Amino acid sequence: NPLTACLRRQPPWSDFPIILLTQREASPERSPATARLGEILGNVIFLERPFHPSTLTSAVRTAVRGRRRQYEARARLQELRESEERLRTALQAGELGSWTLGARDMTMTCSGSCRAHFGRGPNDPFDYDDLRRSVHPQERARVEAAIAHTLATGEAYALEHRTIWPDGSEHWSDMRARALTDNLGRVTQLVGVSSDIT
């Protein structure tokens, strides 16, 4: 019970490896209790006695290699968290909003700061149709053409344009984005920043 409690408290990146030595009659194939123990322990290798010492050595090396990969994954996750925090800080320092636009379904997600650049509250809905409607009518065709060009070619998107806020006031926005592509080179989404340059 203390061991299983400890295993349950593992962080998400961890899957502690266990090598369990069994007798022939206690192998998972022959013993439901041993099979259940395998389910409880998770990442477990059963070695049925008798076995050659090299078998145990090989199993331990495999378990240790797997554990090292888990620590490497933990380090990458930590680097990713730190990178995201630096990005958040940079966006806040530059008073920039962040947004993404899916190439296939034109689904748009925006940060609260991006919504504010269009006169919306941080939790107000704001999708691609809302963006289009907020662009000044005289500039709407130019904005749509620039987005279509970036989605078709993968070239960077950078455009300044007038926007009309819900209260009717006129503002200027600067929208910039880079295209992300799949392994076939097709654009999957735009990832960008916005700023109010009024």
3-class SS of residue 54 = helix
Residue 54, token pair as written in the block: 């090299």
pLDDT value at residue 42: 87
3-class SS of residue 20 = strand
Q: Give the whole-angstrom CA distance, residue 190 versus residue 181.
A: 9
For 12-66, write each residue's pLDDT tens digit.
Answer: 899 999 998 888 766 666 677 777 888 888 899 888 888 899 999 999 999 999 9
Largest CA distance in the chain: 82
pTM: 0.61
Q: Give the whole-angstrom CA distance, residue 79 versus residue 87.
A: 12
3-class SS of residue 95 = coil
For 91-139, write each residue's pLDDT tens digit.
Answer: 777 788 999 999 999 999 999 889 999 999 988 999 999 999 999 999 9
Output phi, psi for 7, to 5 deg: -65, -35
